[in-house]
Chain A
Amino acid sequence: MEKTKGFVIVASHKRNFYLYALNLAESIRDFYEPEEECNICLVTEERFIDDRGYDVADEVIFCDDHYRSKLWGMAKSPYDLTMYIDADMECEHEDIIKVWDEMKDYDMVYSELTDDRDYIYAERDFDTPEGKSKFTLCGGVCLYDMSKPIVREFMDDWWDLTYRQMNDTWWPDGYADSLKSWDQFSLWWLTEKEEKYKDLKIGIFDDDLRWNYYNAFNWARTQPKDPVILRHFSAGLDKDKPIV
């Protein structure tokens, strides 16, 4: 049986994220051909939902107001092949349809944090009891195969670990407290430290900047080979200030 495919977008905590999510979902539909094959699952809080949410999404799942509900939402994906996209992104190219080809034989696919893109990251290098380390995977977008039990388990664990590190019920010795707010840390921990995930096949999108182009990047310095597909407005938005 063919695997189901769809996008997961999560909007929690601030209403602005809901508005970003609507815009992202609409923008995916603008470019996805044929549009009727474009499946979108919107994970949001009940207090935010309005007709637009039900119109643009094929499925709506309610979450709580946790700042990192994105991970809870990712673990709840109704699709086998799932493309999670941060709500504050926008689709701007028809190659969005090609996202499923990026799965190849990987279990999960991410965009990469690299040294030459270092200039926009808030916190990337950190000390560990074994020496210096750095984050290499960016969780802004993630393509994953939920038909594999190990991936489903990983997604549950990623949420669980992040939840626990943020409410201080889990934290390993020898790591700075400033890392607690980053789901990148729990991602790093699971992929680098957890025995059961050592065989997980993790890939990087081809020309990965196309799939998660931070608007904060300087185009003269950092650009993909082909046109941007998903632009990330993360840095330049005031998420707390109501849009209207």
Chain B
Amino acid sequence: MSYRKWLDNAFWEDETKSQVNCILEMEDDVGRVTRQVMKLNRLDKDGNENELFNEVVDSVTEELIDKETNDRVERKKAEQDEHRQRELEHEKARKLEKLFNYKLEAFEVEEIKNSKNRKLKGKLRRAKSRIEVDLYSIMILQEQLEADSNGKD
């Protein structure tokens, strides 16, 4: 048996409720079901009421369309927030990997490699930024240079 119905997930396209976004589901005589997404204006270009628009509002009800519109806005916002957060965290993770590699490079500098100052090397390892890595690297280098010149004296 064929039928046609408006799905109850219709929502307003704008705050003036002049356009509704809705889905019409239809089944033909041989049981094939098709769905058609429509954007229907309240008024046609001559300013007359759109019968199809009225049919949707009568069928789904204005309250339900209002609710779906609000829910959809919240859902979209939550999705955007989550996406933004994930992008941010992804960025942070990449930065941490780069920092990890940068530290390992620093540990391969001859003077740092040979330094026995575990305290400073530990600080270098726990550095949270490249500038911090550079600072501790310089401190270790300086200490090594001083030790070398003292040895010569």
Which A residues have a C-beta under 8 Å from some C-beta of B? Answer: 19-20, 22-23, 26-27, 29-30, 52, 90, 92, 215-221, 233, 236-237, 243-244
Contact = CB atoms under 8 A, between A and B. Distances in A.
Given A26-B118, A215-B96, 8 more contacts: A19-B107, A29-B118, A220-B88, A221-B89, A236-B93, A236-B94, A236-B100, A244-B108
Interface of B: 82, 85-86, 88-90, 92-94, 96-97, 100-101, 103-105, 107-108, 113, 118, 121-122, 125-126
Contacts of A19: 104, 107-108
B126 to A, nearest CB: 7
A236 B102 CA distance: 13
Contacts of A29: 118
A3 B94 CA distance: 40
B89 A243 contact: no
Contacts, number: 56
Nearest to B100: A233
A209 B115 CA distance: 34
A215 B105 contact: no
Main secondary structure of the interface of B (DSSP, over half): helix
A173 B96 CA distance: 42
Contacts of B113: 52
Given A26-B121, A92-B126, A233 B97 contact: yes
Nearest to A27: B125
A215 B86 contact: no
Nearest to B102: A243
Candidate in B94, B96, B100 with the most chain A CB atoms within 10 angstroms: B100
Contacts of A221: 86, 89
B97 A30 contact: no
23 contacts: A19-B107, A19-B108, A22-B107, A23-B103, A23-B104, A23-B107, A23-B125, A26-B121, A26-B125, A52-B113, A92-B126, A215-B93, A218-B90, A219-B92, A220-B86, A221-B86, A221-B89, A233-B100, A236-B93, A236-B94, A237-B101, A243-B104, A244-B108
A216 B97 CA distance: 9
B122 A30 contact: yes
A19 B102 CA distance: 12
A90 B122 contact: no
B106 to A, nearest CB: 10
A230 to B, nearest CB: 13
Candidate in B88, B94, B97, B126 with the most chain A CB atoms within 10 angstroms: B97
A52 B112 CA distance: 11
A92 B113 CA distance: 21
Contacts of A215: 93, 96-97
Contacts of B101: 237, 243
Contacts of A244: 105, 108
